[in-house]
Amino acid sequence: MAGDGADDTGELLRRVARVEDTSPPPPRLVADQVIDGTYRIVRELGMGGMGIVYLARDVRLDRDVALKLHTSAVDRAGTARLRREATAMAKLVHDNVVTVHEVGAHDGHAFVAMEYVKGGTARTWLDERPRGAREILALYVRAGRGLAAAHAAGIVHRDFKPDNVLVGDDGRVRVADFGLARPLEEPAPSGDRVDPSGGAPGSAAAARADLTATGAVVGSPAYMAPEQHTGDKVGASADQFAFCVALWEALFGQRPYLPDD
């Protein structure tokens, strides 16, 4: 997994585990440490507001994975819920979707083992050099196919943004971080609310505002559809809204509306 693309999976973990501000930090993992009897840590890839991402080796299947250990403390009930979510994510087998292999817990903190993508994000890809409209559209068409595959599997992403689109060194485009994903027929929890402060995802203000009375959170405000801001039922159209905002931003260098719009 590249960059902080995996970061927002922590939002799902916060919701199901009912995390509080007093949650202890996750333990730092070291090289050669084995997690869950399966994942041997190779090195740290990056750290964000929701956890630390490591490159790890799946010793059972002899493959590299991106393992994210979240700041979210999780109890037994929360772990069971996460495993059910992982089962739903297993439906997403598509060239343009990052595969979630397993969800579990280590030392009281949730972890997610995902397909390791060596490369960057749509945002870093865009910053590498000037990109023409055709090139940008080609990338987002592939990302759109990943979203469409999720919808066909009955799942809505709920946090699509450039940072959650990975561009591998192999040229493949994959949508990542279905951390807020929920079956299309499942209504959003009544506690879901947006960060009223408008804090950037991962900022201290956003981290505080992400927590509600029930621990429920939602996606990144800049890309969210109106119904997501108000906590109403969210469907595939919310992903389409976020997709359009991200594409507009890539083409024109700014979002189609001001932050306060």
Q: Where are the alpha helices (DSSP H) in 64-199?
A: 76-89, 122-128, 133-152
Category of 108 on φ-ψ map: left (φ > 0), alpha (ψ -120 to 50) or beta: left
Dihedrals φ, ψ of 150, to 5°?
A: -65, -45
Strand extents, DSSP E, the chain: 34-35, 39-48, 51-58, 63-73, 100-106, 109-115, 119-121, 155-156, 165-168, 173-175, 182-183
Alpha carbon of 147 to those of 47, 157, 174: distances in Å? 26, 7, 10
Q: Which of 4, 7, 159, 195 is catalytic?
A: 159
Matching residue, tokens 């509306």: 257
Task: Tally the residues of the chain.
Answer: 261
**Eight-state DSSP code of residue 35:** E
Q: Where are the alpha helices (DSSP H) in 2-64?
A: 9-17
For 116-145, give the DSSP string.
---EEEHHHHHHHS---HHHHHHHHHHHHH
Whether 239 is catalytic is no
> HSE (CB half, 13 Å, CA atoms) of 50?
27
Catalytic residues: 159
